[in-house]
């Protein structure tokens, strides 16, 4: 849980930095898996009837490419992150729901493995342009599959 104690927040605010188990993201609910902890670096302060937090949150998330159906790791990042949480009379203010919500919004609706720089998705759409080279690409992959089967 990414949380702050109200009594521990000095008037000038508090810097909160660390890692949190990605279980708090409940990624299974969207068919994804955590690939590492949630990292956060937040400046927390009191304002009015609530606590505000600004900074950066990030988490590596294992998603399935919609094209080639291979799992890949997408680095979800929210910067600048900004959240305001109502105090509700409690001394411990939980920032986790806000972090979860923002990180899930940062995930692509149609994840593709080539979202990662330098990675090209092995799947080529049949209707993609450049039909001439398409055939040779497909046969290359067929050959690769046959090689794998022989092993």
Residue ranges in contact with Zn ion by CB under 5 A: 65, 67-68, 113, 121
The distance in angstroms from the start CA to the end CA of the chain is 46
Q: How far is the CB of 58 from Zn ion (least distance, A)?
A: 22
134 burial level (CB within 10 Å; 0-12, 13-18, 19+): middle
Closest to Zn ion by CB, 41 vs 67, is 67
DSSP β-bridge partners for residue 34: 61
Give the tokens for residue 47.
């304002």
Alpha carbon of residue 96 to chain centroid: 14
As a whole number of angstroms, the distance between CA 10 and CA 128 comes to 58
Q: How far is the CB of 43 from Zn ion (least distance, A)?
A: 37
Closest to Zn ion by CB, 53 vs 113, is 113
Q: How far is the CB of 142 from Zn ion (least distance, A)?
A: 18
Closest to Zn ion by CB, 41 vs 121, is 121
Q: How far is the CB of 33 from Zn ion (least distance, A)?
A: 16
Give the chain's largest Cα–Cα span: 68
Closest to Zn ion by CB, 35 vs 57, is 35
């Amino acid at each position: 849980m990414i949380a702050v104690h109200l009594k521990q927040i000095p008037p000038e605010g508090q810097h909160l930095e660390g890692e949190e188990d990605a279980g708090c993201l409940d990624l299974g609910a969207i068919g994804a898996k955590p690939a590492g902890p949630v990292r956060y670096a937040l400046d927390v302060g009191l304002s009015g009837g609530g606590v505000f937090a600004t900074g950066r949150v990030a988490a590596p998330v294992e998603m399935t490419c919609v094209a080639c159906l291979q799992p890949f790791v997408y680095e979800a990042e929210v910067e600048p992150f900004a959240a305001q949480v109502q105090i509700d009379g409690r001394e411990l203010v939980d920032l986790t729901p806000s972090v979860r919500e923002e990180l899930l919004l940062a995930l692509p609706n149609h994840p593709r493995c080539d979202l990662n720089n330098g990675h090209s998705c092995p799947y080529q759409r049949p209707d993609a342009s450049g039909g001439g080279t398409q055939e040779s690409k497909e046969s290359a992959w067929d050959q690769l599959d046959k090689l794998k089967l022989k092993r």
